[in-house]
Structure 1
Amino acid sequence: MGRMKSGHRYAITLVGGLAVGLGAAWAITGRGLSDGQIANGPWTTSLGYGTKATDAVTRAAVARAGLLALPAKETVYWSAKSDAAGAPLDGNCRYSLSGAPLDARWWSVTLYDTAGYLVANDTKIWSVNGANVALDAKDEWRVTISPDKPAEGAWLPGTKGQLFHLTLRMYNPGGGFRADPAKAVLPRIVKEGC
């Protein structure tokens, strides 16, 4: 009988320890990719994504996010959870995402929910890129992010009642960008109303 109680205690301690350890790992890696080493307005990144030199926690967060990260000389991944004023990105609101052509061979911005999944929408539009946004007379592009489609222009659908994140991918970033990514000109995220 004493051995049985001892075995139960051991099993309970082992299961409890595993639960605490897995829970802590899930919480730490769940912070996502916005805890990067470089901040530029609402955007954050790490140039270590996709390299062997990256620490174990960052590698686990990248794996959990399903990013399949390439090294920074090939792709830089930026994440934004807030607008230019620092408020969380809210699917109830309308935002202007705009900027000049980025210093990269190709770029895209994708909208995800806070768990890192594509947001379900009837239009099946989740991303815009440098090839599908038009430049205006000032050589800038603009995308509206909102739950309702605007009368004109590029659009990323938000979902009412749901917070979201944006991921900017810059493929083959230019030398000027790589020299000082914290000072690079990145897209502006401005709330226009809710």
Structure 2
Amino acid sequence: MKGWHRYAITLVGGLAVGLGAAWAITGGGLSGGAIVNGPWTTSLGFGTKATDPVTRAAVARAGLLALPAKETVYWSAKTDAAGGPLDGNCRYSLSGTPLDARWWSVTIYDEAGYLVANPANSWSVNGANVALDAKGEWRVTIAPTRPAEGAWLPGTKGQPFHLTLRMYNPGKAFRANPAKAVLPQIVKEGC
């Protein structure tokens, strides 16, 4: 084999290994955050110059046009309250009280980071479209079939998913200690 062939093969092999490693490292989406609160994780560095290059690449790959934490905090959940992976075959209760933010939303994504295809064309709920009960709490069902009543985020049978919680203009009390903030509960009700 000629000498330049070996160099070409080594170069192509090195590029393939390097690109593959970069793809694998940045494929975790936003779940590698430094702050953990139940099943939710975040980093207050999203959208700032202080963010490390790997996190910046993961944010870019996730398609998140990140704003700094004083404007928006992005939480990601890939598991339920018991630590089990979120499964589109199952039914979950997503519930909580109004969040310490001017506005918030929860969006459902597939494992690749795309909106979950569903016949209802519904991918998100927010503080303006979920009703509060007599106790001042809200509840959303995440399941492949629409519940008889209440708010619903469609899951897709046979497809794992993750949730992104966006809190716009979070309050000072929240920003003081996000790891202790009251965030929505994700409880598996059955499969």
User: What TM bracket, shorter-length normalisation?
Assistant: over 0.9
Matched, 1:121 2:118: yes
Residue ranges of structure 1 left out of the alignment (5+ in a row)? none
Alignment of 1:111-190 (within 5 A): 111-190=108-187
Q: Does 1:81 align with 2:88?
A: no
Letter in 2 for 1:71: P
C-alpha distance after superposition, 1:118-159 (max 9, x if no partner): 011111000000000000000000000000000110000000
39, 44, 52: which one aligns with 1:42: 39
Pick aligned residue for 2:104 from 84, 104, 107: 107
Percent identity between matched residues is: 86
Match of 2:56 in 1: 59
Q: Secondary structure at the match of 1:30?
A: helix
Aligned to 1:17: 14
Q: Which amino acid aligns with 2:182?
A: V
* Cα deviation code 1:78-111 (max 9, x no counterpart): 0000000000000000000000000000000000
The one-letter code of the counterpart of 1:64 is R
For 2:114, the aligned partner's letter is Y
Counterpart of 2:5?
8
* AA aligned opposite 1:25: A
Distance 1:189 1:183 in 2: 16
Quote the offset at 1:56 in angstroms.
0.2
Structure 1 outlier segments of 4+, above 6 Å: none
User: Which residue identity is paired with 1:130?
Assistant: G
- For the pair 1:95 / 2:92, whether they are aligned, the reply is yes
Q: Using the alignment, how far apart are the partners of 1:7 and 1:47 within structure 2? A: 48
Q: Deviations over 1:21-74 (max 9, x none)?
A: 000000000011111000000000000000000000000000000001000000
User: Which residue in 2 is equivalent to 1:68?
Assistant: 65
Scaled by the length of structure 2, the TM-score of the pair is: 0.99
* 3-state secondary structure, aligned to 2:20: helix
| Secondary structure of 2:163 counterpart | strand
SS of 2:36 mapped into structure 1: strand
Two-structure CA RMSD over aligned residues (Å): 0.7
Where do 5+ consecutive residues of structure 2 fail to align?
A: none
